[in-house]
Structure 1
Amino acid sequence: MPEGHTLHRVACDHTKLFAGQRLAVSSPQGRFADGASWLTGRRLDRVEAVGKHIFYHWTPKQRRSPTGDPPKARGDILHLHLGLYGKFRLHHRKGADPWPEPRGAVRLRVVGDAAAFDLNGPNRCELLDAAGYQRAVERLGPDTLRDDADPDLAWRRIQRSKTSIGALLMNQEVIAGVGNIYRCETLHLLGIHPNRPGNQIKPEEFDALWDKLIELMRIGVKHNRIIIADPAEIGKPRSRMTRDERLRIYKKPTCPDCGGGIDAWTMAGRKVFACSNCQE
């Protein structure tokens, strides 16, 4: 499942490519045909990401009732969650060439003036009204990549929990957007073992954790990939690092700091990696 930096990068790119335009929306697969019909031809105002969720805000519209009753409000916010299998495919128009034929089961196709995107296999693809949007956002913890994030909310949830910090970081109601790689790598950088209970995390450790997640995930947005390693350690800029060089302990056999073996076990449904020598 993509981690939060991926969705923030998509939101940024799609804002630049599609916001302010009247877009053609369709559902080649057919499973989102009604929603696509409601959105097509309308102007997209903005795109935002919250954790691993992305929201497309269209200019509000009301459906007129053929019976003469008051018009029925419909959702004007498209909510997408990729889940394990969701994938965006971006297209750029070359001259007058037609858009490519849909590949696979395309749930959603959005076409703008000079770009288009297809969405395959999302976990969620639905329309929300303002109240539904608010409920969806309120279920999530603070997102380190958002200016409105409240770290105190995450701290309170961690401070009062006996659950391991490794499991808490995978709980999107604690901190939204963090996935398995950021969990493993950030805890290793800070010397915190994933098994340590949340209520044993010190305030200064939480502050360091929050700040490190902001730093690393912003790097992820900029480069559109997770990069943990320090360029000074690798001897090359982040843009030139290979996939193996970008990470420090995730799926690695030995610790880059002490040379000891990396432990691996399942926590919160995913395999976590840690160094028992360097992390307490």
Structure 2
Amino acid sequence: MPEGHTLHRLAKLHHQRFAGGPVRVSSPQGRFADGAALIDGRTLTRAEAWGKHLLHHYDSGVTLHVHLGLYGKFTESAVPMPDPVGEVRMRLIGAGRKGEPYGTDLRGPTACEILLAPEVDALTSRLGPDPLRRDADPDRAWSRISRSQRPLGALLMDQKVLAGVGNVYRAEVLFRHNISPYRPGKSLTRPEWDAMWLDLVALMKTGVRRGLMHVVRPEHDHGAPSYAPDRPRTYVYRRAGDPCRLCGTTVAHAVMDARNLFWCPTCQPG
């Protein structure tokens, strides 16, 4: 599932390409036909992301909400666009303020729907602070973490606690701060949380800028290759059974709340 930096990159791209002008919206697949009709021809005023949610705001007061889920994907294209291929939930074409036309096709999202303002407020109010948003309040996440007996590995993935953090950032930020994913939230100290929050902000901003998750410090970015040829190195994510890059201990694997968990038992004791 795409993590928060991917949605913020999409929001920035869509705002640059489509905001400030009318857009043409259709649903070649047919499943979003009614929603497409509500925003077809309207002006996109702003695109933004909150955690793993993409929001397109329109001059009519309605908002397009997209959650990519496990299989959703936007495919960007020059105009004129080719005929739709496959199950295209939504096709959006516009020129924005710059007057240069672009198009994008959306396939396989978990959610593609039109929301009214109260529904948008309800959505965002149940999400935790997003490290990539300027209005994020890390105290909201700390308040929930510091009172919880749940393990930190679960809390960091709970979008009601922290929005936008997924499996990679969860595994890597815990490693970078030598914190076991099994430690109860209430055992975390405030200085530890402040350091983790600042690290997440920096790491996720790098992800937005580069389009990939760079989580290994430069002095450790050598040795064993990444888990995939098109991905930067990680410390522990998807490295189960391999030696830790710092201490050589075998990286451990378990399942926590139905998600794969990776950590180094030596560097992350407890």
Moved over 6 A (4+): none
Counterpart check, 1:92 vs 2:92:
no
* CA–CA separation in structure 2 for the residues paired with 1:227 and 1:233: 12
Residue in structure 1 matched with residue 114 of structure 2 by the alignment: 127
Give the 5 Å matches for 1:208-219. Answer: 208-219=195-206
Give me the whole-angstrom Cα distance separating, in 1, the residues matched to 2:36 and 2:232: 42
Q: CA deviation at 1:233?
A: 3.4
Match in the other structure for 1:200 = 187
Once the two structures are superposed, the pairs formed by residues 1-280 of structure 1 within 5 Å of their partners are: 1-60=1-60, 76-93=62-79, 98-113=80-95, 114-234=101-221, 243=230, 245-252=232-239, 253-280=242-269
Answer whether contact 2:212 2:231 (CA < 8 A) is retained.
no
Q: Deviations over 1:20-78 (max 9, x none)?
A: 111100000001101111111111000010000010000026xxxxxxxxxxxxxx100
- Cα distance, 1:245 vs structure 2: 4.0
- TM-score, normalising length: structure 2: 0.92
User: What is the match of residue 98 of structure 2?
Assistant: none
Give the drift of 1:242. Answer: 5.7
Matched AA of 1:100: P
Task: Give the distance between the partners of 2:252 and 2:161, measured in 1 at CA.
Answer: 25
The alignment partner of 2:170 has SS state of: helix
Residue identity opposite 2:249 in structure 1: G
Q: 1:81 corresponds to which letter in structure 2? A: H
1:42 aligns to what SS in structure 2? Answer: coil
**1:243-279 deviation per Cα after TM superposition (whole angstroms, max 9, x unaligned):** 4543221112121110110000001211111011011
Instruction: Look up the SS of the partner of 1:127 in the other structure.
Output: strand
The Cα of 1:230 is off from its aligned counterpart by 2.4
Q: 1:268 to 1:234 in 2, by over 3 A?
A: same
Query: 1:15 deviation in Å?
Result: 0.5
Distance in 2 (CA, whole Å) between partners of 1:47 and 1:178 is 20
Distance 2:232 2:30 in 1: 42
Contact 2:213 2:232 in 1 (8 A): no
Structure having the higher Rg? 1
Q: Classify the secondary structure of the residue corresponding to 1:140.
A: coil
Q: Which runs of 5+ in 1 are unaligned?
A: 62-75, 236-240
- Percent identical pairs in the alignment equals 47
Q: Is the 8 A contact 2:24 2:40 kept in 1?
A: yes
Q: Distance in 1 between matches of 2:155 and 2:88?
A: 34
